[in-house]
């Protein structure tokens, strides 16, 4: 059994015999597939592509001098430009202009036609390794890009490629100019807004200063100095008033020792009158008005006033009353109400007030008194009057200074509150001014950058390799299709033969018979062909040879017509051979 199994193993002869038996089927299947491949290779319409290369040039002016307002990367800008160029409106205009996709527009929707056109547009970036100035490391940067369009017509491919190139160049220039203009306009609007804000804050600050002109923070030191100086002036005035009061007391004492009229050791009626008046004031402070001594002194005073014509003046009595009231106020500050001095001064004030009322009611109240003629008396009286006048002036000035101190103290109290509001307005004004200066600097830079873009001195797209009319299609690859068709035809033919052979149950040869009867045959008689079979075999071989020659001739003709002339291919091949031999 092992020998029979080994004998049933197929060898090359068996495969060769099977090939001979199935060569018709192999030729038929291979011929059909090869023919379909050839038809596909030569019927498939050619596709031409026209491409242009656009270089991305850096700006001509160094960036250290002028900074461009367009800061995005080149690849990013190209993608943005692509989205704008390949918009629905632009593509429809190109389709209408060059009458593209005429058949597809009748059978497909507009969106499908636009999708086909976008697929026919090729955009390839050209990158190079450059040194990044910011990091100092090598990095990949886009330095150029190719823009192409595929079409069945080489003329249409060229026209559309040129149109797309123009759109890209124009859109880049337009986008850069618009972006520079938008940046400048934005900075102009912001600077104008800040300028208006500064004007408003300056006006608000001026109004605040007008409202708080005396409590401004910068006047704090001045107000404090004025307050301190005013307080010193008040202290000086108090000293002067005190000195003048002492001088007035001294002069009053000296004046009381002199006679206003004439001079001599005998007391004159006027001196006697003054003495009696002083005595009357002293007695009136001790006794009641009905006391005999008080009444006597009062009668003598009346008689002397009639004799001398020096009646008591209401003004003098008022002056005495003021002095007594001042003395009473001073005593009340030092003593209680029950103190003898306080009670004495109160009685003197009351008697003097009564005398003033009686004198004012008498018909001789307005009678002028006699004028003193003693020079010494007149001199002291003048000095005393001058002291009184100066004291009144100093007290008036002191009252003014006290009001001034209160005013400046109020200013110093209000200064912190005003300072807070003033600082807030001043801080806002300072911040707005600083931002305005920064925006003005940026605005000037943007204006220069805008002019640079208008003059095309910035980064720009330059067409370095314009699209040309394509001479050869980029697809289909006819040799590759023919080669693949040939390989597929051979594989399909052999595969169909193998399948047909595996399905065939006929007994062929000694091995097949031995496998059935389980023993080896004694002898094998070969197949003897008749003359008719021999003639038929010759005709088949002749037909196969003719078919092969015809297929080769047809293939060469199609290659010559649709791929490249045979003589050109021959010269190319010889050139390759010479190059290989030369190497």
Q: What is the pLDDT of residues 522-542, one digit of tens each?
A: 666 666 667 776 777 788 777
- Considering the domain architecture, whether residues 485 and 554 belong to the same structural domain is answered as no
In a domain, 68, yes or no: yes
The string of pLDDT tens digits covering residues 144-164 is 889 999 988 889 899 999 999
SS3 of 352-390: the string is HHHHHHHHHHCCCCCCCCCCCCCHHHHHHHHHHHHHHHH
- Predicted confidence band of residue 282 (pLDDT cuts 50, 70, 90): low
- Predicted confidence band of residue 353 (pLDDT cuts 50, 70, 90): confident
Say which DSSP state 217 is in.
G
Residue 234 CA to residue 399 CA, distance in Å, equals 9
In the prediction, which pLDDT does 14 show? 65
Residue 333 CA to residue 339 CA, distance in Å, equals 11
Last residue of a domain, one of 319, 350, 368: 368
Q: Which residues, 6 or more positions from 55, have their beta carbon under 8 angstroms from its beta carbon?
A: 143, 144, 461, 462, 463, 464
Half-sphere exposure at residue 563, Cβ-oriented, CA atoms within 13 angstroms: 21
Burial call 124-134: b when 16+ CB within 10 Å, e when fewer: ebeeeeeeeee
Helix (H, G, I), strand (E, B) or coil at 323: helix
pLDDT score of 51 more than 80: yes
Task: Look at residues 347, 357, 343 and name the one whose alpha carbon lies nearest to residue 284.
Answer: 347
In a domain, 239, yes or no: no
- Considering the domain architecture, whether residues 20 and 100 belong to the same structural domain is answered as no
- Considering the domain architecture, whether residues 61 and 123 belong to the same structural domain is answered as yes
pLDDT score of 499 more than 70: yes
Average pLDDT, the chain: 76
Residue 407 CA to residue 219 CA, distance in Å, equals 14
Name which residue leads in pLDDT, 409 or 556: 409
In a domain, 492, yes or no: yes
- Considering the domain architecture, whether residues 174 and 67 belong to the same structural domain is answered as yes
Residue 250 CA to residue 17 CA, distance in Å, equals 170
- Considering the domain architecture, whether residues 77 and 155 belong to the same structural domain is answered as yes
In a domain, 201, yes or no: no
In a domain, 408, yes or no: no
Last residue of a domain, one of 315, 342, 368: 368
Contact 270, 310 (CB under 8 A): yes
The string of pLDDT tens digits covering residues 365-421 is 444 445 566 777 778 778 888 888 888 888 888 888 888 888 888 888 888 888 788
In a domain, 224, yes or no: no
Burial call 467-504: b when 16+ CB within 10 Å, e when fewer: beebeebeebebeebbeebbeebeebbbebbeeebeee
- Considering the domain architecture, whether residues 513 and 576 belong to the same structural domain is answered as no
In a domain, 308, yes or no: yes
pTM of the model: 0.49
**What CATH number is given to the structural domain containing 154?**
3.30.1890
In the prediction, which pLDDT does 224 show? 86
In a domain, 377, yes or no: no
Residue 538, domain extent: 529-583
The string of pLDDT tens digits covering residues 437-469 is 888 888 787 777 777 666 666 677 788 888 888
- Considering the domain architecture, whether residues 177 and 58 belong to the same structural domain is answered as yes
- Considering the domain architecture, whether residues 53 and 178 belong to the same structural domain is answered as yes
- Considering the domain architecture, whether residues 53 and 188 belong to the same structural domain is answered as yes
- Considering the domain architecture, whether residues 25 and 78 belong to the same structural domain is answered as no
- Considering the domain architecture, whether residues 14 and 70 belong to the same structural domain is answered as no
Neighbouring CB atoms inside 10 A of 291's CB total 13
Structurally, the chain folds into a number of domains equal to: 4
- Considering the domain architecture, whether residues 533 and 575 belong to the same structural domain is answered as yes
131's enclosing H/E stretch is: strand 121-131
In the prediction, which pLDDT does 370 show? 52
């Amino acid at each position: 059994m092992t020998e029979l199994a080994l004998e049933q193993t197929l060898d090359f002869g068996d495969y060769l015999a099977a090939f001979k038996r199935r060569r018709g089927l192999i030729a038929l299947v291979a011929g059909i597939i090869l023919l379909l491949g050839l038809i596909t290779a030569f019927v498939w319409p050619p596709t031409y592509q026209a491409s242009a290369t656009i270089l991305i040039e850096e700006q001509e002016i160094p960036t250290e001098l002028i900074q461009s307002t367009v800061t995005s990367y080149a690849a990013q800008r190209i993608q943005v430009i692509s989205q704008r160029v390949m918009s629905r409106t632009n593509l429809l205009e190109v389709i209408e202009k060059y009458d593209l996709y005429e058949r597809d527009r009748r059978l497909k929707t507009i969106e499908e036609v636009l999708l086909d056109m976008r697929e026919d547009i090729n955009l390839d970036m050209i990158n190079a390794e450059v040194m990044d100035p910011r990091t100092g490391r090598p990095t990949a940067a886009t330095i150029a890009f190719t823009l192409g369009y595929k079409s069945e017509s080489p003329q249409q491919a060229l026209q559309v490629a040129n149109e797309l190139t123009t759109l890209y160049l124009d859109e880049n220039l337009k986008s850069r100019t618009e972006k520079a203009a938008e940046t400048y306009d934005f900075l102009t609007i912001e600077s104008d807004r800040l300028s208006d804000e500064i004007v408003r804050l300056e006006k608000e600050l001026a109004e605040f200063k007008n409202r708080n002109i005396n409590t401004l923070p910068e006047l704090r030191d001045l107000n404090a100095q004025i307050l301190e100086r005013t307080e010193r002036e008040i202290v000086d005035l108090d000293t002067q008033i005190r000195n003048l009061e002492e001088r007035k007391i001294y002069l009053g004492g000296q004046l009381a020792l002199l006679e206003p009229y004439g001079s001599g050791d005998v007391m004159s009626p006027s001196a006697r009158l003054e003495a009696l008046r002083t005595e009357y004031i002293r007695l009136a402070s001790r006794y009641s008005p009905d006391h005999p001594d008080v009444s006597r002194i009062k009668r003598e005073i009346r008689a002397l006033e009639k004799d001398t014509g020096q009646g008591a003046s209401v003004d003098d009595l008022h002056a005495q009353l003021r002095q007594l009231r001042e003395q009473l106020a001073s005593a009340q500050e030092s003593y209680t109400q029950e103190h003898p001095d306080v009670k004495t001064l109160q009685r003197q004030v009351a008697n003097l007030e009564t005398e003033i009322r009686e004198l004012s009611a008498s018909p001789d109240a307005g009678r002028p008194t006699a004028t003193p003629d003693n020079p010494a008396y007149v001199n002291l009286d003048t000095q005393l009057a001058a002291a009184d006048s100066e004291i009144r002036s100093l007290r008036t000035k002191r009252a003014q200074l006290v009001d001034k101190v209160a005013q400046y103290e109020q200013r110093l109290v209000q200064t912190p509150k005003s300072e807070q509001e003033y600082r807030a307005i001043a801080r806002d004004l300072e911040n707005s001014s600083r931002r305005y200066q920064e925006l003005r600097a940026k605005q000037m830079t943007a204006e220069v950058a805008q002019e640079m873009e208008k003059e095309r001195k910035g980064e720009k797209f330059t067409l370095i390799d314009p699209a040309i009319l394509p001479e050869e299609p980029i697809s289909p690859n006819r040799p590759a299709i023919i080669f693949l068709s040939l390989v597929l035809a051979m594989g399909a033919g052999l595969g169909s033969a193998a399948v047909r052979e595996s399905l065939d149950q006929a007994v062929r040869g000694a091995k097949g018979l031995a496998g059935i009867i389980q023993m080896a045959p004694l002898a094998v008689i070969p197949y003897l062909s008749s003359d008719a079979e021999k003639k038929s075999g010759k005709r088949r071989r002749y037909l196969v040879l003719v078919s092969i020659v015809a297929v080769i001739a047809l293939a060469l003709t199609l290659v010559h017509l649709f791929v490249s002339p045979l003589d050109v291919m021959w010269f190319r091949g010889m050139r390759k051979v010479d190059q290989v031999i030369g190497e």
